[in-house]
C-alpha cells in the first residue's frame, strides 16, 4: 500500500489508485497517517470538522471510519478501533512523508561526512517525492498549520543542503543558478544568501558576492528592521579579506 500527502492525498496498491472523493474522509485519513498510535475520537472530530464538530459527531465519525475501511480494501483491518479512538497501522515505507524524512536524514549524513555525491543522490530522491504543496487537498487548518508547514520547512532544508552538496562537488554554476531562484522566492532565509555568496566568490566573482551581501542587507533592514546574522557578516568579512577558498561550512 502507498499513501501520499506530499501533494494531493493519494492511496494506491498493486491494483492502482484507490479514490477517496469525500473531503472529510480525506481529512480523517490524513489525520490517522500523521498521528501515530490511537487517536482519540474527540481529536479526530476536531480535525475532520476543522474545529467545529456538530452534535452527534462521534456517530458520524464511526460511519466515516467504516467507509474508509472499505476504501482501503484488503488493508481495511489495519484501521483499528481502540479505547476511545482509532489507529491506522502503516509501515515506515508506505507513507511518502516518512520516506522523505529518511532520505533527507541519510543525505544530510552523507554530505556532512564528506560524501556529497551520495548525499546529493539521496536529496534528489527526497525532493522527487513531492507532487505539490503538502496536504494540498486536505481541508483542515490545524493539519496545515502543524504538519504542512513543518514538511514545507523540511523541504527547504533539503534544497538548502542540496545546493551545499553541489558547491562541495565544485558544481558552482549549477548551484548559483539554483540559488538565484531560491533567494528570490525565499529572501528571508539567510543561509540561501550565504550559499549564493559562497558560490559566487568561489567561482571568481567576489565583487558579485559582495553586491549580494548589500542586497540582502537592504532587504532585511527594509523588511524586518534587522541586520544580517553572524554567518553572513563573517562571510562578508572573509570575502573582503580576499578569502574565497575557505568554504562556508568550514565555519558552520
Q: Tell me, letter by letter, the H, E, C secondary structure of 194-243.
A: HHHHHHHHHCCCHHHHHHHHHHHHHHHHHHHCCCCCHHHHHHHHHHHCCC
pLDDT in tens, 21-74: 899 999 999 999 999 889 999 999 999 999 899 999 999 999 999 999 998 888
In sequence order, the β-bridge partners of residue 88 are: 79
CB-based contact 11:33 (threshold 8 Å)? no
C-alpha grid cell, residue 168: 562541495
Closest CA to 214 of 197, 230, 195: 197
123 exposure class (CB count in 10 Å sphere: 0-12, 13-18, 19+): buried
Q: How many CA atoms lie within 13 A of 33 on its CB side?
A: 29
Q: Which residue has the cell 460511519?
A: 63
CB-based contact 142:47 (threshold 8 Å)? yes
Inter-CA distances, 16 with 73, 94, 107, Å:
12, 14, 30
C-alpha grid cell, residue 214: 548589500
pLDDT in tens, 109-164: 999 999 999 999 999 999 999 999 999 999 999 999 999 999 999 999 999 999 99
Sheet holding 85-88, edge to edge: 39-40, 85-88, 79-82
CB-based contact 154:101 (threshold 8 Å)? yes
pLDDT at position 74: 84
pLDDT at position 1: 85
pLDDT in tens, 171-211: 999 999 999 999 999 999 999 999 999 999 999 999 999 99
pLDDT at 20 over 90: no
Query: Cα(42)–Cα(49) distance, rounded to whole angstroms?
Result: 11
pLDDT at position 252: 46
pLDDT at 85 over 70: yes
pLDDT in tens, 210-242: 999 999 999 988 888 888 999 999 999 999 998
Inter-CA distances, 174 with 105, 110, 246, Å:
23, 20, 20
Taking the model in full, what pTM does it have?
0.91
pLDDT at position 245: 72
pLDDT at position 223: 85
Report the largest interatomic distance among the alpha carbons of the chain, rounded to a whole angstrom: 70
pLDDT at position 250: 63
Amino acid at each position: 500500500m502507498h499513501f501520499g500527502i506530499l501533494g494531493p492525498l493519494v492511496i494506491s496498491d498493486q491494483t492502482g489508485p484507490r479514490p477517496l472523493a469525500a473531503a472529510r474522509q480525506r481529512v480523517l485519513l490524513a489525520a490517522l497517517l500523521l498521528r501515530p498510535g490511537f487517536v482519540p475520537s474527540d481529536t479526530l472530530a476536531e480535525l475532520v470538522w476543522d474545529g467545529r464538530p456538530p452534535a452527534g459527531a462521534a456517530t458520524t465519525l464511526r460511519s466515516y471510519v467504516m467507509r474508509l475501511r472499505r476504501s482501503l480494501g484488503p488493508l481495511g483491518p489495519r484501521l483499528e478501533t481502540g479505547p476511545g479512538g482509532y489507529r491506522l497501522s502503516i509501515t515506515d515505507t508506505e507513507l511518502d512523508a516518512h520516506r522523505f524524512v529518511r532520505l533527507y536524514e541519510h543525505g544530510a549524513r552523507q554530505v556532512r561526512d564528506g560524501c556529497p555525491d551520495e548525499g546529493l543522490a539521496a536529496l534528489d530522491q527526497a525532493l522527487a517525492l513531492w507532487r505539490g504543496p503538502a496536504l494540498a487537498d486536505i481541508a483542515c487548518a490545524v493539519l496545515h498549520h502543524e504538519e504542512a508547514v513543518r514538511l514545507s520547512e523540511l523541504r527547504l532544508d533539503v534544497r538548502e543542503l542540496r545546493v551545499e552538496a553541489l558547491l562541495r562537488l565544485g558544481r558552482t554554476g549549477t548551484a548559483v543558478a539554483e540559488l538565484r531562484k531560491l533567494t528570490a522566492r525565499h529572501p528571508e532565509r539567510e543561509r540561501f544568501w550565504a550559499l549564493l555568496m559562497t558560490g559566487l566568490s568561489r567561482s571568481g566573482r567576489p565583487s558579485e558576492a559582495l553586491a549580494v551581501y548589500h542586497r540582502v542587507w537592504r532587504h532585511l533592514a527594509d523588511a524586518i528592521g534587522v541586520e544580517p546574522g553572524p554567518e553572513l557578516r563573517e562571510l562578508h568579512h572573509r570575502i573582503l579579506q580576499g578569502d574565497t577558498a575557505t568554504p562556508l561550512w568550514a565555519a558552520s
